[in-house]
């Protein structure tokens, strides 16, 4: 591995949308925004060590930045990488559910 802080450099944030919530409920999948240079192996190691879960597989998707128009000028959003993390059958991450019981 590169260094001991690579766990925190590979995962940027969790991607929250309607599609990600449906995937999380149906298929035990979590969608993360990750570093553009990170690989599947690095993502798998960092997720398994940070959250203490077993990862079944990972799919990666490069999201291209969109062109936006502001007045006469065009600006381009940044490109980023999305990772679909599939967990094994008995694994689950429930840090998104803030149920007060």
Q: Which of 22, 29, 45 is nearest to 83 (CA)?
A: 29
Position 81 pLDDT exceeds 90: yes
Of 10 and 99, more confident: 10
CB-CB contact of 10 with 34 (8 Å):
yes
* pLDDT class of 101 with cuts at 50, 70, 90: very low
Domain boundaries, the chain: 6-87
Q: Please report the pLDDT score of residue 99 as a whole number.
A: 45
Was domain 6-87 assigned CATH 3.90.1070.10?
Answer: no
Position 72 pLDDT exceeds 70: yes
């Amino acid at each position: 591995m590169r260094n001991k802080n690579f766990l925190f450099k590979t995962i940027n944030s969790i991607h929250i949308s309607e599609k990600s919530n449906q995937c999380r409920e149906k298929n035990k999948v979590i969608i993360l925004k990750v570093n553009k240079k990170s690989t599947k192996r690095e993502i798998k190691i960092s997720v398994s060590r940070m959250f203490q879960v077993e990862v079944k597989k990972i799919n990666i998707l490069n999201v291209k930045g969109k062109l936006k128009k502001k007045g006469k000028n065009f600006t381009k959003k940044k490109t980023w990488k999305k990772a679909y993390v599939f967990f094994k059958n008995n694994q689950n991450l429930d840090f998104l559910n803030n149920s007060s019981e």
